[in-house]
Structure 1
Amino acid sequence: MTDVGGAHVAVVVQNVSLAEDNRLCKQVEALCSAGHRVSVITRRADANEPWRSHPGLTLIEYRAPVDGASTMGHVREYATSLWRQIPRLVRLHRRDRIDVLQICQPPDLYFPVTALARRLGVKVLLDQRDLMPEVFAQRYSSPPARALRVLHWLETRTQANVDASVTVNDHLRERLIAAGGAPERIHVVRNGPVLARLGRAREATPLPIASRVRSFSSVVTWAGKMGRQDRVDDVVRVAQLVVREWGRDDVGFMLIGNGECLDELRLMVDELGLGDNVWFPGWLGEVDLYRHLAAADVGIDTSLQPEVTPVKAMEYLGVGLPLVAYDVQETRRLAEGAGILVTPGDTETLAREVVGLLDDSTERARLGRVGSERIQLHLAWERQCEVYLDTVAGLIGERLQKVPTPRSSAAARPGRPSGT
């Protein structure tokens, strides 16, 4: 294989900061460990602080736009991000020639940038995490057909202007192929947890007895970004059934994370009188997240998106936590045999299965062992990152064969943070 160590890989991410992007954090660590110089253009956030001094990484931050809460709000958010990202990307390439440009999507709006980058000899890697038409349809009860056609068109333009793609499951891979991507250049890289960090979480001091988790005989948890398409309100409805209607005041519900729906969810909890049994620890670092998950008894997921492989489910399984979720395609592929799946949208059955599992410690332990083994043997990041690094290496090899010019003096400079 061509020696590709020391190449410059630049990454652009729009919708969250680097620190909040669990997948990108793992990718950056893998790239740096492989000897590449890595630059990430991302939203400025206090949580990015540890990454500003990460060896081999140049962090280029911009002021975060206002998160969109409507269609036009999202358009303004994306346009503002592009306006702030593109000049930084141009300056970066002038200072230290980019070998591979990775775009984290959605949104599918970077194809003019990637088309120009390819004309300049830069290899473009697409990391597709979600599908915009499906997300749009989940967010709105009657999505306009014209808007969906536009979103599908954007997918085709994206695939016409990249050199390779990685994505999180087979469903998304098939969609990218349907959008015009070459099958041999689209690879599945699942987003499993890092085994080493799961190990550190097990070795860490357990949550204190005085914590909210320990105030209940049983705890149900949900973790992730609280977007409208994630239907976290169904978790609150499950809590209402379990605690209020069925009298299980011994059960607590721990909803970990943040996002556009957080304030609405807090208001919903207060209006339903569930404040004593439902709480929001906020966004947690990875090891702290695993500690909290390991202190719970059951993990829950209420997404109705068949194309989404829920990262939260892999995190539940990684700590040996059984899953109760709606029976949708990618959730089934991930968790069948390691959890209980119910008819999508049937909140009452979801709640009954949660209670049944809470009251059956033997079944919880069995499902937890199945899930933990599946992560360790197949889905952990250590099993997945080899495909990712091989894809990057292949693009760098193609780039070096076509552009045999010497590297700039910037190649010798260590990574450094930048707020330009």
Structure 2
Amino acid sequence: MVVHRNMRRCEWEATISKRHHILILVENLPVPFDRRVWQEAQALNDAGYEVSVICPTGRGYDKNYEVIGGIHIYRHPLEEAGSAAGYIKEYFTALVYQIYLSFRVRRRQRIDVIQACNPPDLLFLVAMIHKVLFGTFFVFDHHDLSPELYVSKFGRKDLFYKLLCFFEKQTFRMADASVATNETFRDIAVRRGGMPPDRVVVVKSYPEAARFRPTTPEQSLIASGKHLIGYIGIMGEQDGVDTLVRAVAEILHVRKRDDIHCLIIGDGPELKRLKAMTDELGIGGSLRFTGYLSGQPLLSHLSAFDVGIIPDPPGELNDKLSMNKVFEYMMLGLPIVQFNLPQATREAGHAALVVSEHSPQALADGILALIDDPERRKQMSMVGRAVAEREFRWTGEAGRYLDAYGDLFRRRLDVHDQRHYSTS
């Protein structure tokens, strides 16, 4: 009996991925723009799983349905909110779209696992419907701390905050497994979410090293006697890009330095306001916005930077986040200036100059300290690259991610075997 059972297990594990279909839900960013989700989808696809994704349109990805590299992508409209009431409307509308599209996906092929990537923490409701009706597994990919994100945006802990805490708790209760972006998130899943420790796996959001390397700098950004500082990322209220804009104004108008230029790459709900602020401060000649970039243009622009800036303010949310730009700056050998963010500081190590006071003036101090010390920049660059080449490997993270799915399906096999042999 034991031999027979082991043979069945080996046969099943040999074909585990080829017999299962994973549906990934994303509400706040389109795929493949969302790099982490796209890497996960590709890892599953490469391992032989069937993969579908439901996400919003935007960022140049406006087709309602397409297949990229064998991955089926279903998209729905999304209007980003700017107020608490707006978020209720956004989340409700997105939830209706995602429930509808999940059944459209199911009509095409049976769904074995639904993976929900937050925010918001309402997507467990989509998974719950399929779990109750069809026994579908639910995996929670924990990207953001929704309660802390709300406080960061609106500065209060009201009824809506309490609802977010409730939804977070229900998401963890519903999850068969949880994927955390760092060890802090893992601790929150166990302590605040009540997840069993053996069902939480840390998968960090490293870029693929083979594709994210220094390249020939964009020549239009190189000017004799000028130093280029820069930022890459989403521009929301919690990202603090306005502090960088004010720091540039401080450098130009108060410190009387005309050798500093700034480039801001990316977009987001704050972009229009930040452009207006740049004009009001009279620094448009030294600060440029590129909008969203990807591929070789992105790398050539980043490779022209002398210093990478992380202007995110300290707080309940940012203190706990692993930021993609930390990994990206280090992989490109860029010295970093940032505020005192515990998680980002641990990950950047000696590649970052940490500014203790949160203000445009202190950020300007940190920027100028590095600009005026080329030897220190060189050492920080070498340290960052060395750590990145040694530790920032998506292949290792992808292995842990796939192991989590293997464990999930093996648990189902164990339950099936126990039922089978208890009745035989």
TM-score (norm. length: structure 1): 0.89
CA distance in 2, matches of 1:94, 1:137: 39
Aligned-residue offset at 1:46: 6.4
Q: Which residue of 2 aligns with 1:5?
A: 17
Q: Which residue of 2 aligns with 1:292?
A: 301
Aligned-residue offset at 1:362: 1.4
- Structure 2: any 5+ residue segments left out of the alignment? 1-9, 418-424
1:282 aligned onto 2:296: no
Q: Which residue of 1 aligns with 2:263?
A: 254
Contact 2:43–2:402 (8 Å) recurs in 1: yes
CA distance in 2, matches of 1:327, 1:291: 29
Matches within 5 A, 1:20-419: 20-45=33-58, 47-48=60-61, 52-62=66-76, 64-119=77-132, 120-141=134-155, 143-177=156-190, 178-199=192-213, 202=215, 206-209=216-219, 211-214=220-223, 217-303=226-312, 304=314, 305-399=318-412
Aligned-residue offset at 1:111: 2.4
CA distance in 2, matches of 1:347, 1:271: 16
Contact 1:99–1:396 (8 Å) recurs in 2: no
- Give the match's secondary structure for 1:295: coil
Question: Which one has the largest radius of gyration?
Answer: 2
Shift of the 114–213 alpha-carbon distance from structure 1 to 2, 3 Å rule, reads: farther
Shift of the 330–286 alpha-carbon distance from structure 1 to 2, 3 Å rule, reads: farther
CA distance in 2, matches of 1:214, 1:383: 40
Bigger RCO of structures 1 and 2 (CA < 8 A, at least 6 apart): 1
1:94-115, CA deviations, whole angstroms, 9 ceiling, x for partnerless residues? 3211122110101011222222
1:70-92, CA deviations, whole angstroms, 9 ceiling, x for partnerless residues? 01111111111111111110121
Of 15-24 and 265-274, deviating more is: 15-24
CA distance in 2, matches of 1:75, 1:366: 48
Task: Among all aligned residue pairs of Structure 1 and Structure 2, give the percentage whose two residues are the same amino acid.
Answer: 31
1:1-50, CA deviations, whole angstroms, 9 ceiling, x for partnerless residues? 72322221111100111132111111122112112111011113463389
Contact 2:189–2:195 (8 Å) recurs in 1: yes
Shift of the 216–104 alpha-carbon distance from structure 1 to 2, 3 Å rule, reads: farther
Aligned-residue offset at 1:286: 4.1
CA distance in 2, matches of 1:213, 1:265: 24
CA distance in 2, matches of 1:230, 1:399: 41
Q: How many positions carry a matched residue from both structures?
A: 397
CA distance in 1, matches of 2:253, 2:59: 39
- Give the match's secondary structure for 2:273: helix
CA distance in 1, matches of 2:367, 2:44: 40
Shift of the 325–46 alpha-carbon distance from structure 1 to 2, 3 Å rule, reads: closer
Shift of the 22–287 alpha-carbon distance from structure 1 to 2, 3 Å rule, reads: farther
Of 267-276 and 17-26, deviating more is: 17-26
CA distance in 1, matches of 2:129, 2:410: 20
CA distance in 2, matches of 1:46, 1:274: 27
CA distance in 1, matches of 2:295, 2:343: 23
CA distance in 2, matches of 1:96, 1:401: 25
- Give the match's secondary structure for 2:152: helix
Q: Which residue of 2 aligns with 1:409?
A: none
Shift of the 36–109 alpha-carbon distance from structure 1 to 2, 3 Å rule, reads: same
Shift of the 117–53 alpha-carbon distance from structure 1 to 2, 3 Å rule, reads: closer
Q: Which residue of 2 aligns with 1:412?
A: none
- Give the match's secondary structure for 2:320: coil
- Give the match's secondary structure for 1:109: coil
Of 358-367 and 212-221, deviating more is: 212-221
Aligned-residue offset at 1:218: 0.6
Of 1-10 and 349-358, deviating more is: 1-10
Letter matched to residue 118 of structure 1: K
CA distance in 2, matches of 1:163, 1:356: 49
Contact 2:25–2:115 (8 Å) recurs in 1: yes
Aligned-residue offset at 1:401: 6.1
Shift of the 123–215 alpha-carbon distance from structure 1 to 2, 3 Å rule, reads: farther
TM-score (norm. length: structure 2): 0.89
- RMSD, matched Cα: 2.0
Contact 2:230–2:264 (8 Å) recurs in 1: yes
Shift of the 207–379 alpha-carbon distance from structure 1 to 2, 3 Å rule, reads: closer
